[in-house]
Amino acid sequence: MICREMRLSDQDAVIALWKAAGVFREWNDPVRDIAKALEGEHSTVLVGELDGMIVASIMCGEDGHRGWFYYVSTHPDHQGKGLGKAITAAAENWLRERGIWKVNLLVRGGNSQVASFYEAQGYKNTQSICLQKVIEP
């Protein structure tokens, strides 16, 4: 699998992957999320390409203090083959190249079984609470 930065021409394939993997949420506009992640130098979407198909993705960014991951996904037809591990490692490298040394990510309450995937890559549950507020008008 080749890991590379997403191009706008990948957008439909990436959104289809997010839907297939179950990370799409109808209240998060994926076109807007992708545009925002690609517009600046502090965030991006990495994709994993296998035989010309987008089979893995990760949105990553840094806020000057920590790195963050979102939309971590491998297509269901290709799960369990190390691709999730590879795309996560690629995103860690993307952050490392920017001088970031810690990364955070959120796991939804209903998806706690996926914590084992992250723990296998060295991630630890910090037992923190995530609070959120929508601040746009």
Ligand X SMILES: CC(C)(COP(=O)(O)OP(=O)(O)OC[C@H]1O[C@@H](n2cnc3c(N)ncnc32)[C@H](O)[C@@H]1OP(=O)(O)O)[C@@H](O)C(=O)NCCC(=O)NCCS
Contact positions vs ligand X (CB under 6 A): 21-23, 72-74, 79-85, 107, 111, 113-114, 116-117, 120
In whole angstroms, the minimum distance from the beta carbon of 93 to ligand X comes to 16
In whole angstroms, the minimum distance from the beta carbon of 137 to ligand X comes to 29
As a whole number of angstroms, the distance between CA 90 and CA 116 comes to 19
Closer to ligand X at the Cβ: 43 or 74? 74
Q: State which residue has the least CB distance to ligand X.
A: 84
In whole angstroms, the minimum distance from the beta carbon of 6 to ligand X comes to 16
Closer to ligand X at the Cβ: 14 or 72? 72
In whole angstroms, the minimum distance from the beta carbon of 116 to ligand X comes to 3
Name the maximum alpha-carbon separation found in the chain.
43
Closer to ligand X at the Cβ: 12 or 119? 119
Q: Which residues, at least 6 apart from 80, have a Cβ–Cβ distance to it below 8 Å?
A: none
What phi and psi values does residue 71 have, to the nearest 5 degrees?
Answer: 50, 40
Indicate the residue type of 23. V
Closer to ligand X at the Cβ: 34 or 41? 34
Closer to ligand X at the Cβ: 43 or 73? 73
Neighbouring C-beta atoms of residue 18, cutoff 10 Å: 20
In whole angstroms, the minimum distance from the beta carbon of 100 to ligand X comes to 19
- Cβ proximity of 91 and 80 under 8 Å: no
Nearest to 124 by CA among 116, 132, 135: 116
